[in-house]
Amino acid sequence: MSPDTAIYVLELIGVFVFATSGALMAIRSGFDVVGIVVLAETTALGGGVLRDVIIGAHPPAAFRDPLYLAIPLVAAAVTFFFHPQVARLGIAVLIFDAGGLGLYTVTGTVKALDAGLGMLQAVILGVTTAVGGGVLRDVLARETPELFKTENELYAVPSAIGAIIVAVAYQSGWLLPAAAAGAAVFVSGLRLLALWRGWRAPGAWAVRR
């Protein structure tokens, strides 16, 4: 399997896992099958669509290859029938989700840099790629965005650190495929470490006086 094929397969797995989290949220919210499909698609693809709309990649990657739109349909169907089992996968889902976080961060940052954007812009779009779909999911389900909760373990922070590493390596000409893969693994690992050790981002400083 070539590196490109490997990335493609990993991306499709990431799409599936993110879509599953959207479908589960729709089911917890009591939505019908339409809501399940919409949240599956939005969670899986919303971050990348936001990035591509901002950098002007038309149509967005999610609309260039029908598999990107088809896989959330499959995830929605599986979750529709087997959601108690899917919800019980717990740790497996968290691991795959961390994998998606790392992969989306790296591909999103690289796409923004390839489009000619500066480092800070690329870092922000890399993180947007990775976390934007989940925020859209929570907005559609009328939930407080998971991303912003002080009781949740680090999610955007590992993504931001990984995006900074990728952007610095890219600008220095060191972003070989192995380095990109390393950054993705680093993001995923840091996310899982945060889950395991209970690392959280603080709320505003003076509130804790």
Q: What CA–CA distance (Å, rounded) separates 106 from 185? A: 10
- Contact status: 200 vs a second copy (CB under 8 A): yes
The yes or no reply on residue 156 touching a second copy (CB under 8 A) is yes
Among the listed residues 65, 67, 16, 25, the one whose alpha carbon sits nearest the alpha carbon of residue 44 = 16
Which residues, 97 to 116, sit near a second copy by CB under 8 A? Answer: 115
Choice from 19, 130, 135, 167 touching a second copy (CB under 8 A)? 135
Minimum CB separation of residue 197 from a second copy in Å reads 16
Residues 6+ apart with CB under 8 A from 133: 18, 22, 42, 43, 44, 45, 46, 47, 48
Does 74 contact a second copy by CB under 8 A?
Answer: no
Nearer to a second copy, 110 or 156 (CB): 156
Choose the binding region for a second copy from 7-15, 136-144, 173-181, 182-190 (rule: CB under 8 A): 136-144
Nearer to a second copy, 179 or 193 (CB): 193
Torsion of CA 26, 31, 34, 37, to 10 degrees: 10
